[in-house]
A and B are shown apart, each in its own frame.
Chain A
Amino acid sequence: MTVSNNNEKPSEFVGNQISLARMQAGQKGKIVGINGGHSLVRRLEALGIKEGKEIKKISEQWMRGPVLLQHGNTQLALGFGMASKVMVQITRKNQ
């Protein structure tokens, strides 16, 4: 099995905008936009996850598997495709 998606992670730069899918595990960031359809925005919003909120990426699975994020005391797993649509501004490089 190979790590397929993150050969070019520009994550050293604090302040860059990248998608949740491309964040590194352990990184924190502020959501700056959700490029998905209305339904994804609504599903995330129902959990309090929306533009301006701080989230932390906990982990990702191999082969474009689901991404786990933390927001407050909520841990949410969402598919790689959805995670690619959540744009994040990195606030801290590592915990």
Chain B
Amino acid sequence: MKRLFFLFLVFLCLLQSIDAQQKAVTGTVKSSNDGEPVIGATIIIRGTTSGTTTDINGNFSIVVPGEGSVLVISYVGMKKQEVTVGSGTTLNIVLEPDLLGLEEVVVTAIGISRERKSLGYAVQDISGDKISKAETGNVLTGLSSKAAGVNITSSAGTAGAATFITIRGQNSITGDNQPLFVVDGVPVDNSMDYSGNPDDGRNNLTQGVNYSNRLIDLNPDDIASISVLKGGAATALYGMRAGNGVVIITTRKGSDTGGRLNVSFSASMAFDMVNKLPELQTMYAQGTNGVYNTTTTSSWGPLISEMRFDGATDYPRDKNGRLVLATNPAAKQDKPGIAYDNVGNFFQTGTTYNNNISVTGGNKDANFFLSVGNNSTKGIVPRNTFSKTTIKFSGETHLGQKMTISASANYIRSGGARMQQGSNTSGVMLGLLRGTPTFDIANGHGKDGYKYPDSYMYPDGTPRRYATYDNPFWTVNKNVLTDRVDRILGNILLKYMPVKDLSLSFRLGDDFYIDRRSGHTALFSANIPDGQQEEDHHYNNSLNCDLTANYFREILRGLTANVTIGQNIFQSYSQQLYNQGNGFVIPDFYHMSNTSSQLVRENTTKYRTAAIYGDLQLSFRNMLFLGFTGRNEWSTTLPESNNSFFFPSASAGFIFSELPFLKGNKIISYGKLRTSYAHIANHALPYFTSNTFTLAVINDGWATGDSFPFDGIPGFVPSNILSNPNLKPESLLSREVGIELKFLNNRMNLDFTYYNNQNKDLLIPVPITGSSGFNSTYINAATMENKGVEIMANIVPVQGKRFTWSATVNFTRNRNKVLSLAEGVTDISLGGFTGSTINVVAGEAYGSMFSTSFYKDQNGNVIINDNPASAGYGYPIKDETMKSLGSVAPVWTMGINNDLSFNGLSLSFLFDIKKGGIMWNGTLSRLIGFGTSKITENRGQSVVMEGVKGHLENGVIVTSGEKNDIETTWSQYYYQNIGGGASPAQEQFVDKTDWIRLREATLSYDLGKVINKNFLRQARVFFTGRNLWLKTPYRGIDPETNLMGAFNAQGLDYFNMPNTKSYVFGLRLDF
């Protein structure tokens, strides 16, 4: 820090030592269409990144380095204009409409704004209102289906659940595959910290609760625009942390409003409902083999229609009395058995309130932006909450005549109450769906069950549950994890323009947060009956500093050069302090002091990078554009002797429609070819260059295991991963070609990109067998490629004075292939369960579903067991060998958005189509075994299984090839061992996850015509529906889910929380 401060001082001194003649200019910007002022037009001093915007009257004022400075004035939908400052001090500028949209400016790496037409690579920008309009309260989910090449998966519909994002597929095997997020020039943390004993590592993600990834902290209403940099040439200037693409977020800023305050207010209210659930049976009671039994976990009992209550009023399990067969003398014939609607009673209508107010104001010397936002959600699961309050202030002032200083601070408080899910006997969905229909979890209280302790607890404090698994109402009241994040994102930006066309800038940014979590599992819970308290603190701090210089020059007539050089330093520091207390003494007193034993873990991670970079952009006659970048980077995570790496990129754009024989063409109004090449990288994880001993942990994979200290005695073991003194960064070669075409005066646009990314030296912990004394060795070994196509198309079928209809299509097809892992290594597990894991397999796409299957003959016919002595006679035979069933990733995805507007009324609807992809429906497998799935309603019926007869002899299948004719039944045995249960052949539960969904539909009305513009400038009311319609073959919850959250192992559904559909009503007022 000291050194940074020093650097900063030196920089300031330098600025003082350079002088030039500065000059203040004021002016107005009007439209040639109607002569009305253009509000919010951007005025930039050419060759710099500094500028201003026009106020509500189209006025602006700016200080320029001197006469001869060139101002670039631009506005969406208008042609850009360049004006040279002469001797006068006022400028009157009239902008012409830009029918072709050629002058559009986009934000590129290191925050440099460039004209879209000059780029040799694909950049997709999304305006802030498109994100906030989705009203998801979450930037990432708001971005879903809106950008080609970007894949976004929310893990659940519960409040605060994580969202996973990748751009152009995965680039790393076990490292981070999510893009870098940069907010106002400062990289921000998007990690998903998880709780649970750190000794258990990623297994904590298969149980526990849904966590948030930290991008959730951003307020969508503060966002002005998002720019998605996809390929290597676009991201090369960001270096080793940008191998997975970069999402640049620009937040709203103040502007010169001529001293008046502009106030905006928006409010919305959403109703959230479960959108899809597995189908459950309502015919059979708890029991086994057709016999009613209240201690078993399964529902293989008698038909409920053949049961009656005995009417007892003192039976704690059921207010209607004991269930008995109708033939039992105690049966009250007028009290038939009931299949309770536990699922219906459990899920609630969630509500989300989203309120934002922002104030901006400024004059020619200074301006500010202040916003306060609050988003509070009560989830579909009772007692599940998430809320977020954000306060953002940014200000800009002109220091003297040459310098501008701006600063921004954003405070965020977020968190909520999270619910148990997944592979966890206290999991909400596990207890709810495995639960038998003949046990009323609400004990007569219906949807209010969660409010009444007698629904989930007996008077003596023990749980009221159907069998082993917790009543979900118990879990939501007793086994909750709460988190609270306090976060500050701040940055200071200093800009200095010593002479014409030269600008220097210094940006210092910091992102830090503390995430304090407190969770408990109550005494008597199914999971950890002795109770457990967790206090888990995560502290993260990342510091980023960029020093850049930008110089613009016309070298020859028609040939211009724009040079940027810069230096970057970055430091990431994180610390987790995890405390676990076990064994509560006093019920319902959740504090470490009330636990009989404690476990403490601490983990600190720190690394730094430093880089120098340069960027040269050449433009020739606005027709041919060339760009070159180079970045040399050093990282502390690499071996000292070999920690410096250089990454170059080159790109070219050629606007062929500017060629004389095409210029003015009526059909093709614009055409551009572009191509780029880049060598970029992902850096190595810290602390892998030398071997260490680690705290001893004993784990047999069945239970939590033991860990040291053991009764006060410390113990260590060699780290099970062998380190590597020769680590290198992961290397990514990125190539891209694209074409942009605009037809019929911009009524039709097409942007097509093909890319081919070759990744090598990918770091993997190469698994080795434990008999070597270690379990893996960390080496640069794997190679992988991503090839794909992105198409963005835009068409305006109707464009009238009153009615306009435009449609946008984003199409993405990424073909990932893992070319090789390491010698002798065919696959690496990313996570999952015995019998179904997500693996990386050489020769296949990233994220293969690995599972057990049925034996089949050469023609693919299932072998049906024809050994009459076997319990599985007449049924298929399970093959224990784990096989790949293909990739969990989609083949292609498409977002289709339609915008219709008629006077002030506008309607937009976004369809999201996904083709391909699979998911393990572990939930269904278990529900069949427990006899609660609707599928088991055919129990007892006879069947001849499809396939050919055969059997195992000494581990080998012997088949005659004869078609199966063995008649058997859909038996409990079959459903618990072969067609379902704990470990059947899992291939039958690997479901397709294709979908078509109506992701968003918004109807809004602009009250522009009916309001008093002096007081209320703009008013809009809207209704948005999200996920209103979904069509998918997936036999469970909405397949847009993932057990392990925002984690590389996607495609697992094991009692995941369901997703939601929402109805949102809101209004927005600008004063």
The finding on whether chains A and B are genuine partners in a shared complex, rather than unrelated, reads no
